[in-house]
Amino acid sequence: MLYLNIIIAGLLTGAVYGLMALGLSVIFGVIRIVNFAHGEMMVVGMYAAYLIAVNTGLDPVAALPLVTAGLFLLGYALQRGLINRYIARPEHEQFLLLLAIATIITASLLMGFGPDARSVPLDYAYDSFQLGPLLLDKVRVLAAVGAVLGVVALWGFFRLTRTGKAIRACADNQVGAQVVGLDIKRLYAVTFGLGAACVGAAGCLMLLLIDVQPYIATDYTLLAFIIVILGGLGSMPGALLGGALVGVTEALSGFAVDPSLKSAFSFALLILVLLVRPQGLLGRA
Amino acid sequence: MRSRRFPIVQRRAAAALALFVAAMLALPFFVNGYIVSVLVVVLFAAYFGQAWNIVTGFAGQLSLGHALYVGLGAYISAALFTHYGVPPWIGMLAGVVIAALVGGIIAALSFRFRVGGVYFALLTIAFAEFTRILFDHFNWVGAASGLFLPVSSLARTDVLLLRGSPVMFYYLLLGLTLGALALCHDLLRRRIGYYWQAIREDEEAAQALGIDVFRYKVAAMALSAAMTSVGGAFLAFYENNLYPDTVFAVGRSIEIITAPIIGGLGTLFGPILGAVVLTTLGEAMTSLSSGFTVNGLKQWCYGAALLLIVALQPAGLWPWLRARLGLGAVRR
Amino acid sequence: MSAPPLLEVCGLAKRFRGLQAVDGVSFAVPKGGIVALIGPNGAGKTTTFNLIAGVFAPDIGRVVLDGTDITGLRADQACRAGIGRTFQVVKPFGALTVLENVMVGAFKATADRTAARHAALAILDRLGLADKAGTVAKSLTLPDRKKLETARALATRPKILLLDEVMSGLRPTEIDAMVRTFADLSREMGLAILLTEHVMRAVMALSHHIVVLHHGQKICEGTPEQVSRDPRVLECYLGSAATAAAGSG
């Protein structure tokens, strides 16, 4: 029974991980650029939610739309203004560019907020729901619900709106998309904005679960990559599945083995997947 | 053929190099201890960068997990010395063998399964991180609390046991870096150097010319790993303490690659120039911000400098400098 | 009758997920001979090429080079057995100079830098690229890139040279020059050539023998004169109405 609770907790956290990774999957799947500043953008989302909570008393979940919109604009501007020029350049140049951006973001946050951990005081931080024999943390449930809503919204965007379909066309066949007259630059910018919005939203929700501090960014960039590769690039359900897997693995290994070893299992899983099924569990072969 | 131009350019280049080496040899006599220790940092960065340049700059396989080999070299030689009194020059050999094996296996596994490009880079990060966490729990080397080398012996200078002042390390590392430079220069002139560059430029075309691409990629990785581990051993005996979270960290892997990329990936002097520029920048930031303690300012300027270089001179500073000095590329 | 063929392709077949790209193709290239593989788009020419060169392995069939079975060998192994090939979309080593590009090929025959350099220079001279030896490959024009591609393949001292649509994108004068170069090379070095081509001007002028493919199958082979008059060939290129109109040519 204890194990079941742990697994559920892992699944709930995994939903938020999934949303975060989804942003990366969208960016990599369409633009084919490795966003090494992904974790940093999540941390920006976290600090944004923190600022809103501290100044207006708004709960992070309520601040979600604002933070998401803000991060979308940031991503859009970054891509349009800077990153777009590096699309066709060699990988190490793209890497260096995003590394520079990541460094500047982390440094700016450090300058603005200092190195200490911050968190939002929530009245329901220790509440939990009782569902039969299961004990669910209220914060986790809220975060997971928010994450699932975010994923559904994104899915709806890609399936139902014209821009969404245009972006999917770009991902499938860039030359073909240009031939039919799609504005690739604008679409890429929207895509990056969406990816940033996802990860910003995930950050907002993450603030319910952990404290924020400038240095946690790199770990989450890596985590996002693990999830995306596990689930399969370009697969939205894959990102969720990967998130769930990682969330559960972390929760179980944190409990059954030494908590500090939990990342080791995630990395071992990544190595295994990359070698055995590099397209990921749900990716196209 | 422009054969008339080559001798002049090459004579100039040789003279510049000789001047550079002479200056480096004489430097410790003219500057204080602080500058010498800064120069040691530069040389470490230059050496690691040169080693990494082989697999990524020459052979074109992006490795983002080179801290793994720094750590292996450092921990193996340090542990053997601390527990069994094995002299570092011998412990270093053990490190080289293990690092070459590990690097070779990672490369072989990846390329066998056709993992390339970005995925390969991520795989290298995964292996490094996995090892870091492993060493965090490896009690024989002190786990997360760290491994400490006996420093009581530091009073005297003993090259055989790598005990001594920064000046001693300066000369040792200078020798190591110049040796790496000579090795890379030689490799580039040989068939293996040509094959590596062909693989970097176009793997399919290389394969069609009779090159066993898989073998050469694995060889590049193994050599790069081995060279990096030697630097790691020196690092252990210079700093006298090792923690998995700093030695194997992703941050260190990133540090290793920044100098060669800024200096000029795939060039001979790029890693060295990059190391000089970055360290100078870092030290300048530190001294500038010593008046006011603003957290993160140094890092911000560092990031901005990286951005500037990637935007203005993406091929690196060395090709630009080389053209300005009229040294020309090393044409064979 | 005559000497055994240098390259023998027997019953090659390759299927890609529901499409039979090559279906039982057989032909031979004699020593020093020049054979062209022609056919409309999608006929299976490039796939046949890639099967011989080792890009992928055939499902069934054999490829024999100079008496040795090279079926299913990897591309680098095929090269070491004596296959030299160029690519339809040229693939120069952009950051290297023209000389260095060719030296990469020359290193197959020798590990010594000086020997490789001499061999490379000789080939560049022969192809008229010697004055560009120090130029970086990515700044070359298309015709020069094609010459470089050929020089690089020649440097591996192949027994047979596979030219994949090497004339595409060239102007008529450039095409004629290339045809002359290849004809001379073949004669001087006894080099066998197998080419796939759409440019009929080059095919007619250069080849001794032509093999026509259509829908992955060989429909005809013979001398240029025979093939250009064969009604099956006319039909696959021009359609049956045109063939009927041509009458009994």
Judgement on whether residues C64 and C10 belong to the same structural domain of the protein? yes
This prediction has a pTM of 0.88
Q: Does residue B187 sit at the C interface (CB-CB below 8 Å)?
A: no
* pLDDT attached to residue C243: 52
Mean pLDDT of chain A: 86
B332 within some domain:
no
Mean pLDDT of A259-273: 81
Judgement on whether residues C21 and C45 belong to the same structural domain of the protein? yes
Domains held by chain A: number:
1
> β-strands C192-196, C34-38: how paired?
parallel
Judgement on whether residues C231 and C197 belong to the same structural domain of the protein? yes
Which residue range forms the structural domain that includes residue C149?
Answer: 90-157
Judgement on whether residues C127 and C108 belong to the same structural domain of the protein? yes
* pLDDT attached to residue C201: 86
> Using CB atoms, which residue from A100, A101, A264 is nearest to B130?
A264
Q: Kindly report the nearest CA distance between residue B226 and chain A, in angstroms.
A: 22
Mean pLDDT of A206-231: 88
Domains held by chain B: number:
1
Judgement on whether residues C101 and C113 belong to the same structural domain of the protein? yes
A61 within some domain:
yes
Using CA atoms, how far apart are residues B233 and B41, in angstroms rounded to an integer?
Answer: 15
> Using CB atoms, which residue from B202, B209, B212 is nearest to C105?
B209
Please write the tens of the pLDDT for every residue from C85-121: 999 899 999 999 999 999 999 999 999 999 999 999 9
A111 and B300: CB-CB below 8 Å?
yes
CA distances from A150 to A19, B158, B285 (A): 7, 63, 42
Please write the tens of the pLDDT for every residue from C24-33: 999 999 999 9
> Using CB atoms, which residue from A34, A115, A264 is nearest to B295?
A115
Q: Does residue B4 sit at the C interface (CB-CB below 8 Å)?
A: no
DSSP E strand boundaries for chain A: 128-131, 134-137
- Element containing residue C163 per DSSP (H, E): strand C160-164
Question: What are residue C220's phi and psi, to 5 degrees?
Answer: -170, 150
Please write the tens of the pLDDT for every residue from C223-248: 999 988 888 888 877 665 555 555 54
Judgement on whether residues C4 and C65 belong to the same structural domain of the protein? yes
Please write the tens of the pLDDT for every residue from C115-159: 999 999 999 998 989 999 999 999 999 989 999 999 999 999 999
Which residue range forms the structural domain that includes residue B146?
Answer: 7-324
Size of the A and B interface in Cβ pairs below 8 Å: 118
* pLDDT attached to residue B1: 41
* pLDDT attached to residue B332: 41
Using CA atoms, how far apart are residues A18 and A14, in angstroms rounded to an integer?
Answer: 6
Mean pLDDT of A165-187: 80
Q: Kindly report the nearest CA distance between residue A131 and chain B, in angstroms.
A: 37
Judgement on whether residues C138 and C212 belong to the same structural domain of the protein? no
Domains held by chain C: number:
2
The answer for C247, left when phi > 0, alpha when psi is -120 to 50, beta otherwise, is left
- Tell me which of C100, C124, C157 is where a domain ends: C157
A259 within some domain:
no
* pLDDT attached to residue C19: 87
Which residue range forms the structural domain that includes residue A194?
Answer: 22-217
Residue A75 has pLDDT above 90, yes or no: yes
Residue of B nearest to C113 (CA): B190
Q: Does residue A57 sit at the B interface (CB-CB below 8 Å)?
A: no
Mean pLDDT of A34-41: 90
**What CATH number does residue B266 fall under?**
1.10.3470
Mean pLDDT of A267-272: 84
State the Rg of chain A over Cα. 18
Which residues of chain B fall short of a pLDDT of 70? 1-9, 152-156, 289-295, 328-332
Using CA atoms, how far apart are residues B95 and B101, in angstroms rounded to an integer?
Answer: 10
CA distances from B12 to A247, B3, B18 (A): 60, 15, 10
Residue A58: CB atoms within 10 A of its CB come to 15
Per the DSSP assignment, residues forming a β-bridge with C68 are: C65
A182 within some domain:
yes
B196 within some domain:
yes
Residue A28 has pLDDT above 90, yes or no: no
B331 within some domain:
no
Please write the tens of the pLDDT for every residue from A145-157: 888 888 888 888 8
Q: Does residue C201 sit at the B interface (CB-CB below 8 Å)?
A: no
B330 within some domain:
no
Q: Does residue B206 sit at the C interface (CB-CB below 8 Å)?
A: yes
DSSP state of B209: T
Residue A243 has pLDDT above 60, yes or no: yes
Chains that touch B (3 or more CB pairs under 8 A): A, C
Judgement on whether residues C22 and C68 belong to the same structural domain of the protein? yes
Residue of C nearest to B266 (CA): C95
Judgement on whether residues C68 and C166 belong to the same structural domain of the protein? yes
Residues of B in contact with A246 (CB under 8 A): none
